[in-house]
Amino acid sequence: MPNLTDLQRRFAIPGVVAIENDANHLARLVVTTPLAEAHVYLHGAHVTHYQPAGHPPVLFMSGKSWFQESKAIRGGVPLVFPWFGSHRDHREFPAHGFARTRPWTLRSVRQDADGVVELSLALGPDDATRALWPHDFEVVYTVTIGSVLGLALAVRNTGSTPFVFEEALHTYLSVGDVRGVSVTGLGQRDYMDKLPSGRRLTQSGEPITITAETDRVYFGTADTVNVLDPQAPGEGGARTITISKEGSLATVVWNPWVAKAKAMPDFGDDEWPAMLCIETANVEEHAVTLKPGESHVMQAQVQAQRDH
Ligand code: BG6
**pLDDT for position 1:** 67
Please list, in sequence order, all residues whose beta carbon lies within 8 angstroms of the beta carbon of residue 195, skipping any fewer than 6 positions away: 213, 214, 215
Q: Give domain status of residue 31, yes or no.
A: no
Q: Which of 77, 167, 215 to mutate to test the pocket of ligand 1 (most atoms within 8 A of CB)?
A: 215
Q: Give the pairing type, strands 182-184 and 208-209.
A: antiparallel
Compute the CA torsion angle 243, 246, 252, 254 (nearest 10 deg): -20
Q: Give domain status of residue 276, yes or no.
A: yes
- Asked whether the predicted pLDDT for residue 209 surpasses 80, the reply is yes
Q: Give domain status of residue 219, yes or no.
A: yes
- Which residue lies with its CA nearest to atom 13 of ligand 1? 95
- Residue 4's H or E segment, with its range, is helix 4-11
| Domain interval for residue 168 | 62-103+123-306
Q: Give domain status of residue 3, yes or no.
A: no
**How does pLDDT run across 137-150, given as a tens digit for each residue?**
999 999 999 999 99
**How does pLDDT run across 146-203, given as a tens digit for each residue?**
999 999 999 999 999 999 999 999 999 999 999 999 999 999 999 999 998 899 999 9
Q: Which of 60, 65, 66, 254 to mutate to test the pocket of ligand 1 (most atoms within 8 A of CB)?
A: 254
**pLDDT for position 236:** 82
Q: Give domain status of residue 70, yes or no.
A: yes
Dist. CA 32 → ligand 1 center (Å):
30
Number of domains in the chain: 1
Give the residues surrounding ligand 1 with Cβ less than 6 Å away: 72, 85, 95-96, 170, 194, 215, 252, 254, 279
Name the pTM for this structure.
0.98
Dist. CA 19 → ligand 1 center (Å):
29
Q: Give domain status of residue 32, yes or no.
A: no
Q: What phi and psi values does residue 282 have, to the nearest 5 degrees?
A: -135, 100
Active site members: 170, 279
**How does pLDDT run across 47-84, given as a tens digit for each residue?**
999 999 999 999 999 999 999 999 999 999 999 999 99
Nearest to 85 by CA among 295, 277, 291, 294: 277
Q: Give domain status of residue 13, yes or no.
A: no
Domain with 78 in it: what CATH number?
A: 2.70.98.10
Q: Which atom of ligand 1 is nearest to the CA of 256?
A: 10
- Which residue lies with its CA nearest to atom 7 of ligand 1? 85
